[in-house]
Amino acid sequence: MTRNLGFTIIPPAASPEPGSASQAPLRSIVLIGLPGAGKSSIGRRLAQRLGVPFRDADAEIEAAAGQPITEIFFRYGEPHFREGERRVIARLLAGPPTVLATGGGAYADAQTREAIRASGALTVWLQVGIPVLLPRVAGRDTRPMFLNQDPAAVLQRLMAARHPLYAEADLVVNCMEEAPEATTDRVQAAITAYAAPARLPVALAGRGYDVVIGEGLLARAGGLIAPALPARRVAVISDASVAALHLPALRRGLEEAGIEVRASLTVPPGEGSKSLATYGAVMEELLAAGIDRSTAVVALGGGVVGDLAGFVAASALRGLPFVQVPTTLLAQVDSSVGGKTGINLRAGKNLAGAFHQPRIVLADTGVLATLPARELRAGYAEVAKHGLLQGPLWDWCEAAGAKAVAGEAAALRHAVLESCRLKSAVVAADEREESAEGGRALLNLGHTFGHAVEAECGYDGSLLHGEAVALGLGLAARLSARLGLCDAALPGRVEAHLAAVGLPARLADLPRRFTVEALMGRMRKDKKVRDGRLRFVLLHGPGQAVTKGDVEPAAVEALLREASCEG
């Protein structure tokens, strides 16, 4: 052992004999909380039950340094102590699974939090109120912060400073005045029941971000997004319907992590809010709220809110941090990932916009239970699109897609996870849709037709974006077959599946009619037009998509006439 702040670690004790516990964890468990929370007493019991070693970080530090922590603070100061503490914790977590009790200030250190996250350990916050803590810390003259201090005042100060940081833990267990065995029971039950959200990285050069997918994420929003923010202050943009349902839960989640909601703005629901007028009004209101360049814009809502808020974030003060919290299936599986933002013009959809990547995406699949059935079906159209692009996911769509549309939680989670897996990979390879062929442009499957039909309907709510995409998928499959690219049976297969889940599969399914001239005019204004030529994403089969820029307009016109268009 050494007596300097290198804190050489005493070798860990041997693990318990096989069979001494019913189940050992696959990763280490780190207990955090204020002094007196019971980290050591609960940790020892938990480790014994799990059949793994228990370690107390403070005890390891004192043994390694050969002196009490009060002396280390006095002689070397807190910054030096924290550096050594961080090395101790990193070394302990680098070994076999263990239960580790940390000092109250360890997790409050940003670098230590990152080291614990990087180790893959499960962090559990033992949240205890001051009435329970006070008798436990009274007379604690072995800790520097309590020397000659009023314990209640110290705890109040620590709670204000550390609770927002503790909120970044994976799991929070509210503890009370009870026997240690009872608390251990509840901590063990919480760990056993814990289902970690999925994290999919969008690996962009030097500025990647995670898409986090799971249930209950709004309640933990602050702790999840805080590590991705430059400062703990945000402005939330939502629509009136979504805000009524989900803004209170989001606010509570943000406030738990000490994140100030500097402004909370709402726009009317529907595609009409993706307009220059709404964009201007939101910009003025946001700037009037006193935001600065470290204030993150949080988009809480569907694709309309995400596109609008993202464009606001891209352009306000020449760029603000941006967080996506999508609340519709369509937004969770598609529009929230990839950084495409924008608003509509009279000439067409998304013709004013910017690429502006979020810092993180929180896809809380639990909120999908609040969606109207029509919105859920519309969002599923993008899942079907991803299935046609990926191949095996299309097989899943035909076999189990109806369960997702019916609201089955497991099916919805699978749809979101696999769609985001596909999209994150495509975006990472071609962030700004610059590939000459293929690349991110493939994600526009069905959209050239769909956007034209949607624009012709005037964005009045009579046709949802996802419904337009469904129509576009059917038309893209039919154009592929007409050009001899795919099996003649594919269009019928696509249309049959879309119809089976309740989506419009043919233009003839709509109550209104279109002209060939009008739809062709809309498509010629599409963003994907190059050198005056239409570009389509077409199919050789599921999992075999290609971009085509040499499709003759006559072929498209003939297809539209067959699809019930006039002219």
Largest CA distance in the chain: 90
CA 197 from chain centre, in angstroms, equals 9
Nearest residue to 105 (alpha-carbon basis) of 171, 175, 15, 34: 34
Half-sphere exposure of 482 (CA within 13 A, CB side): 19
User: What is d(CA 120, CA 26) in angstroms, rounded to the nearest whole number?
Assistant: 10
Options 246, 377, 465, 535, the catalytic residue: 465
Half-sphere exposure of 271 (CA within 13 A, CB side): 21
Q: What is the DSSP letter of 334?
A: I
Q: Which residues are annotated as a binding site for Mg(2+)?
A: 40
Q: At what angle do helices 490-500 and 392-405 cross, to 10 degrees?
A: 20
Q: Which residues are annotated as a binding site?
A: 36-41, 58, 82, 104, 143, 162, 303-307, 327-328, 340, 349, 382, 447, 465
Q: Please indicate whether residue 136 is annotated as part of the active site.
A: no
Residues 172/176/178/180 CA torsion (nearest 10 deg): 30
Q: What is the DSSP letter of 284?
A: H
Nearest residue to 249 (alpha-carbon basis) of 336, 408, 364: 364
Options 246, 340, 478, 528, the catalytic residue: 340
H/E element, 301: strand 296-301
User: What is d(CA 345, CA 215) in angstroms, rounded to the nearest whole number?
Assistant: 36
Nearest residue to 309 (alpha-carbon basis) of 243, 366, 408, 382: 243
Q: Which residues are annotated as a binding site for substrate?
A: 58, 82, 104, 162
Return the structure tokens found at 486: 């795919």
Options 113, 233, 451, 528, the catalytic residue: 451
Strand partners for 539: 545
Q: Please indicate whether residue 548 is annotated as part of the active site.
A: no
Q: Are strands 209-214 and 360-364 parallel, antiparallel or unpaired?
A: parallel
Options 113, 385, 423, 482, the catalytic residue: 423
User: What is d(CA 567, CA 414) in angstroms, rounded to the nearest whole number?
Assistant: 43
Options 444, 467, 478, 535, the catalytic residue: 444
Q: Please indicate whether residue 528 is annotated as part of the active site.
A: no
User: What is d(CA 288, CA 551) in angstroms, rounded to the nearest whole number?
Assistant: 49
Q: Please indicate whether residue 552 is annotated as part of the active site.
A: no
Q: What is the DSSP letter of 178?
A: S
Options 113, 413, 440, 522, the catalytic residue: 440
User: What is d(CA 555, CA 563) in angstroms, rounded to the nearest whole number?
Assistant: 12
Q: Please indicate whether residue 440 is annotated as part of the active site.
A: yes
Q: Please indicate whether residue 318 is annotated as part of the active site.
A: yes
- In 396-432, which positions are buried (b, 16+ CB within 10 angstroms) versus exposed (e)? bbbeebbbbbeeeeebbbbbbbbbbbbbbebbbeebe
User: What is d(CA 189, CA 187) in angstroms, rounded to the nearest whole number?
Assistant: 5
User: What is d(CA 453, CA 304) in angstroms, rounded to the nearest whole number?
Assistant: 17
Q: Please indicate whether residue 414 is annotated as part of the active site.
A: no
User: What is d(CA 416, CA 362) in angstroms, rounded to the nearest whole number?
Assistant: 12
Q: Which residues are annotated as a binding site for Zn(2+)?
A: 382, 447, 465
Q: Please indicate whether residue 148 is annotated as part of the active site.
A: no
User: What is d(CA 238, CA 304) in angstroms, rounded to the nearest whole number?
Assistant: 9
Q: List residues with catalytic annotation.
A: 318, 340, 382, 423, 433, 440, 444, 447, 451, 465
